[in-house]
Every structure is written in structure tokens, then in C-alpha cells.
A and B are shown apart, each in its own frame.
Chain A
């Protein structure tokens, strides 16, 4: 495969030894002017990069309370040191969350604090040099902004906030990351991360309609740019063609059809993901978010529903109302925005969906909590709904379900290893190594409880699993979408499946009642 070794499963979850500089290097590909300029960045490093870097740092310290407080409040207690999947998988001490923050903090102390200005050695402050900048680029692209460390930090320090600030500073001196910036540019130019143009998308959706009708005998609609329908569906563009994402999309369509909710995707905003988050850019998060508002207005919908995507849901749930609201032109009887799982779960609770669990009897499922859903958003009206609702939906569609180890799920979940703008081939080694803790937990339930498949609700997790599962000896299609399970089990009114279960005559009687 590639020129690195896949980490071995550890017999006991011992804390790894330190291997300094194990992941030293140049980091991912650097962005280029052609992508950068669209995003408001200089594209190449200016002469006065040092001054610019410090200016931007000062600017962000004044803009983000999180960044300012976190620079000061770390007590160096070490509680976070063994919590990051990238540290566990690579053993590089600079991947310990506090050490990652310190790359920034040592410069902060040098230029912005009394102690660091006058006693740099004492508090570990250093001058800003080109090497420091390179180290930032490398190690701030070995953080998936998953927030696991913050759960365990007594001061609530969220390394993701520091990583985002670092990437924003780097981008302002022309040292952005190619993968993320190129993707954001595609969103602006074409409408989605993958650069799928409208007509191609329409073709795909038509094929889906045919396929589903053939399968079920029900004319489920997968509309694009249809005005006046009830809901705008925002879903990650991977849902339009990647496996197992697309099976999830098929599932949303069936559920919405069965509930009588008409819906459409928008060609202009054919992407739920918002990579502005990953590069820590408020302006870009907002610009990407505004497309959703515009699409909702143009298509005259009453609701916005989001498909399965982790960070998209974080931005949607936590920021959309703030950045692109107020959404007073939408139907206020529904949360704005709403997650497809909230829709499906609500319908199951009210008995509006018929699910034939036996369809999934050949599977024993477990669920991977995606970091951005678990630690940066919510579903439903109770804290922790983001854990309970997906599990409830899986259990409603499937008889066999087992959770992984309790310190690897819910708010302690391990990142898949590919989040935060790292899902790129130039970071393959990091991705595989970072997947270790999740793979270990999966291995355990596979061996002990006969788990066959793992479901996720994030496009990045699904793609990352597909790539990394084989490295650890699993089948690549062991990863599934939650709505894929729903799609398999759902018995739509008037479908072949219904006839098969009830017999033709009874079905006729049912509809008369």
C-alpha cells in the first residue's frame, strides 16, 4: 500500500511511549494562489510574513475569547496528553493536545505576555521563525479538530479552537492547505465540494428514482431545484455517488416520501459540508452558509433538513441561525435546521414508519459517534439526543446492536482519523495511524460480540472508514449509513415489500380503512 507501517493493535490500551519527531515533516500540500485568492488570502508568503503573522495573531486574540483564554489558562496538568487519537497512533509527543497548543502558546508568550518577553526560557517562550511556522503547518494539520481533548481538560481548553486559529493565521500569510482551500473554492464556483455540476447531479438523481422504483414499485422523487416543495435537503455531495453514502440518500428519500414531505436539493447549494470551519475562517463559514439561505429563499421552501454529515451538522446546528439567520420566513413549527435523523426518529416515535427489522438480520451493528455531532451539536430537545436518536433509529431498523467500549463512544468518541480537513491522500499515513483507537474498539466488539458492521452519520467518517478499514484487516464495506439500514427495513405504503409481507388482498383492505 504505502510506505509506512499500519500500527499494531495494542493488547492492552497502554499509554504509548514518546517517539519525538515521529511525524516531523512538511505537512500536507500547500495551497496555491489560484485557490487562495477566491477565499480572501494572499496566495503566497509576503516579505513581511513575520509582522503579518503577529498582527493576525493579535487580531484573533481580540476576536475570539476562546483563543485568548485558552492561551493563558493551560495549567500543564497533562490530563489531555493521552487523549488524542493522533498521539496514540503516531507516538509523536507534539500530537499531545497540550503540546500542540504549546506550538502556538510559546509564540504567544514571547510576544504577548510579560513573562515571555522578559524571561522566555523560564516559561518556554520562543521567537517566531520560519521553522516555527513550518512546524505549525505540519502539526496543526495533524489535528482533526475533534474536541476529544477538551472533554478531559479541567480548564475546558479546546485544542480545535487553537488549531483553527493557527490555520487562519497561516492562511493569512499564504500558507494555507491545498485540500481545504481548493474544496471551498469549488463550492463557490460550482456549488459543491466535489465539483459536480448541476446537469450531472440531475442525471444521478434521475437514476436513483429509477432504481428505487424498480426496487419498491413506489415512485419516490429525488428532486433538484424544484420550487415550492416543503423542504430543502442539504446533504454532503458524497451522498450523490460514494458508497455507502448514496445508500443513505436513498433512505432519506424513502422516509420523506413515506411521510409525505416533498423536498428538493439545490444545484446552487448542493453541498452541506462547510470547510470554512476547518480553516477557522468566520468569513468563509459565513459565505458558505449564506448559499443555504439563498437556496431556501429561491426555492420557496418551508423547512431545511440536513443529511448525514458531521461537521455540516455542527455548522448547521450551532452556527447557521447566527450566521445566515434569522429564518423567520420558514415554518417555525420545525427546528431550523432539522436533522434527517430527527425527522426519522420523530416519525418512528409516532408510529408513522413501518420498519421490517428482519431485513437487517444478517447484520450485527455498532455505531461510531462522529466527533462533530457528538461534541459540538445536539439532536432533539434533550442534551445527549445526538447519542440516543441515532441509536434508537438503528435499533428500530435492526435487531442486533452492540455498543463499543464506553470510553470510545458518545462524548468520548474517537475521531475516525480523517476529520477536520485531513481527508486527503497526501495525509494517508496520518489518517491510517490516527484511526488506530477506533479500529481497536471495533476489533474488540467484532471479536467478542460478533459485530459485522459499523454505522456512521458523517460523510467524512464514511469515506475515511472505507479507506482505512482494509489496513486493519476489515472489509471496506463494513461501514454503513444509518439511513441505509432504514432504507433496507422500510416498508413504504404500496410497495412491493408491503405486498410481500401482507399479501396483496390485505394490502387493498388496509388502504380502504
Chain B
């Protein structure tokens, strides 16, 4: 069983990293042949960085469009961020002090994460417009994250698992020195679903993570009158045009 999990995580890790890298490579390779930032847009690269940061950290556009979705969505993501941060203790041998200090407060992020997910799920099930655009996978993502969260909470607050062995197990995977895993049901479910999440991420709508930063509508500088912007495939058409010059 431990070997199965060790293998599963090795595969999951590889799929995640390679899959995501391939997608990011693809996004960066496809040209954006025309200037299409949604205006008003920043006039400098620094301005674009601020614009993207506001979207990634505050979900600024979502805030403008729908306060409830923003509330639950933002709550979920920020909590997820905290949860993942405090999880670092399983992957770092000597846990730094700030991470230790974060643990006692950080563990409650699990609850806000679950509330956020429930809110999003309710919205998806009961708002007719959102229900209309949902396919089964959209519900399954929320359920998957919910179960990961609930099993985590179970381990943290109800039926504790041997986290020392968990840490040895995960460090073991990183160094290809496989260790045994405690055979607790919540832990096994937790880890199985996490592996599924890692494997599916590069093939699913979770591509919104790199996608956000690659959207030409948001990441372009507004300077088309000052600078020409020619995609490689458009350069061919260029050649023809250049015959036309003032005498």
C-alpha cells in the first residue's frame, strides 16, 4: 500500500510538472499577433504587473462583477493558499520558525476554505444561470476539494494521524527513498484525492492558474501607436506590403 502511494505520488508529481510546463510552453509559443488589451490598460510593463497582481491576489474583476462569487471564491483561494503554506512542513526537513508560528492560526483556514467551497457549490446548484453552464466536472472539482478539506480537518481535529511518519513518507518520495505510510482511512483518502488533483490539473479548467497570466486582454501594454507588434506568421504578409513605399 505504501509503495502504491509512493508510486502514485511520483507519477502525479511528474504529470503535474511536465503537463503544466508543456502548457505554459504552448501558451508562450503561440503568438499574440495584435494588440488587444482591454482598455483602459496600463502604459508600462510595471503597470501590467500591477494589473495582473490585482487580478491574482484580489480577484479585482470578479469583485466588480459579482460580490457573492467573489466572497466565496476569494475566501476559498486565500484559505487554500494558507493551507498549502502550512503543509510545507511535510516537505521541509527543518521547519523555519515563521512556519511553526503560522500553524496554530493557519489550521483554521481549513474551515474558511470549506465554507468558501460550499458557497460556490450552492451557487452552482441553485443559480439557474450558473447551473446552465455547469458540466459534471465542474461539480466534481468542488466535491473533490471539499473531501480533501474534510479529511484534512478530520485528521487535524478528530482522529489524528502520525504526522511524523507522514513527513518521513513525503520526504522519502522527494529523495526516492520510500518510507511506510500510516494506514489511516482519512489520510489515505486525503492523499489519494490530492494525487488525482495533481494528475488532472494540467488537463482541466485548473489551467486557469497559468491562463490568467497569459490572457493578452490583460497582460499587454497599451502602446500600439508607439510600437509595432508583428507576429512571426504575420511577417510573411509584411514582405508583400513593403513594396508600397513613398517615392
Contacts and interface: CB of A to CB of B under 8 A. Distances in A.
Interface of A: 15, 17-18, 61-66, 68-70, 72-83, 93, 96, 98-99, 102, 113-115, 121-124, 147, 150-158, 161, 282-283, 286, 290, 293-294, 297, 300, 317-319, 321-322, 324-326, 329, 335-337, 374-378, 383-384, 386-387, 411
Given A73-B215, A76-B138, 9 more contacts: A66-B217, A70-B211, A73-B212, A99-B133, A114-B203, A156-B218, A158-B217, A290-B244, A384-B40
For A69, A158, A337, A374, the residue with the greatest tally of chain B CB atoms inside 10 Å of its CB is A69
Interface in B85-113: none
A152 B138 CA distance: 20
Contact of B222 (A283, A337, A383): A383
B208 interface: yes
Given A69-B27, A93-B132, A78 B43 contact: no
Contacts of B55: 154, 156
Contacts of B227: 321
Contacts of A121: 136
B241 A286 contact: yes
B203 A386 contact: no
Contact of B61 (A82, A152, A377): A152
Interface of B: 23, 26-27, 30-36, 38-43, 55, 59, 61-62, 64-66, 69, 73, 123-124, 127-130, 132-138, 140, 200, 203-205, 207-208, 210-212, 214-218, 222, 224-225, 227-231, 233-234, 237, 241, 244-246
Nearest to A326: B228
Given A102-B133, A155-B208, A317 B38 contact: no
Given A76-B134, A102-B133, A154-B62, A297 B26 contact: no
B35 A322 contact: yes
Majority-rule SS of B interface residues = helix
A64 B32 contact: yes
A237 B214 CA distance: 38
A286 B132 CA distance: 39
A153 B205 CA distance: 15
A311 B198 CA distance: 43
Given A70-B215, A73-B215, A336-B225, A154 B237 contact: no
B211 A147 contact: no
B32 A66 contact: yes
Given A297-B246, A322-B230, A156 B27 contact: no
A154 B64 CA distance: 9
B69 A79 contact: yes
14 contacts: A63-B233, A65-B30, A69-B211, A70-B211, A78-B130, A113-B203, A123-B204, A124-B136, A156-B212, A158-B38, A318-B224, A321-B225, A322-B34, A329-B246
Contacts of A300: 246
Majority-rule SS of A interface residues = helix
A42 to B, nearest CB: 20
B35 A319 contact: yes
For A156, A300, A324, the residue with the greatest tally of chain B CB atoms inside 10 Å of its CB is A156
Contact of A65 (B137, B207, B214, B237): B214
A151 B33 CA distance: 21
Contacts of B218: 156
A334 to B, nearest CB: 10
3 shortest A-B CB distances, which residue pairs? A73-B211, A124-B135, A152-B65
Contacts of B200: 115
A81 B129 contact: yes
A158 to B, nearest CB: 5
A282 B32 CA distance: 12
A74 B69 contact: no
Given A73-B207, A329-B246, A376 B215 contact: no
Contacts of B228: 321-322, 325-326
Contacts of A384: 40
B69 A64 contact: no
Contacts of A65: 27, 30-32, 214, 216
B129 A154 contact: no
Contacts of A156: 38, 55, 61, 212, 215, 217-218
Contacts of B132: 18, 81, 93, 96, 99
A101 to B, nearest CB: 10
Contacts of B135: 76, 122-124
Contacts of A326: 228
Contact of B36 (A61, A124, A158, A325): A158
Nearest to A68: B30
A319 B66 CA distance: 33
Contacts of B128: 17-18
A113 B212 CA distance: 19
Contacts of B40: 378, 383-384, 386-387, 411
Contact of B136 (A63, A122, A158, A321): A122
Nearest to B224: A318
B42 A96 contact: no
A387 to B, nearest CB: 8
A377 B222 CA distance: 8
B62 to A, nearest CB: 4
Contact of A157 (B217, B222, B231, B245): B217
A72 B38 contact: no
Contacts of A61: 30
For B62, B69, B135, B137, the residue with the greatest tally of chain A CB atoms inside 10 Å of its CB is B135
Contacts of B210: 73
A283 B237 contact: yes
A78 B244 contact: no
Contact of A318 (B34, B42, B66, B124): B34
A64 B133 contact: no
A283 B231 CA distance: 13
B34 to A, nearest CB: 6
Contact of A375 (B31, B38, B229, B231): B38
Contacts of A375: 38-39
Contacts of B26: 68
B229 A322 contact: yes
A18 B31 contact: no
A72 B207 contact: yes
B136 A115 contact: no
A317 B34 CA distance: 11
Contacts of B233: 63
Nearest to B205: A75
Nearest to A316: B225
A512 to B, nearest CB: 41
Nearest to B42: A383
A318 B35 contact: yes
Given A115-B137, A318-B34, A77 B211 contact: no
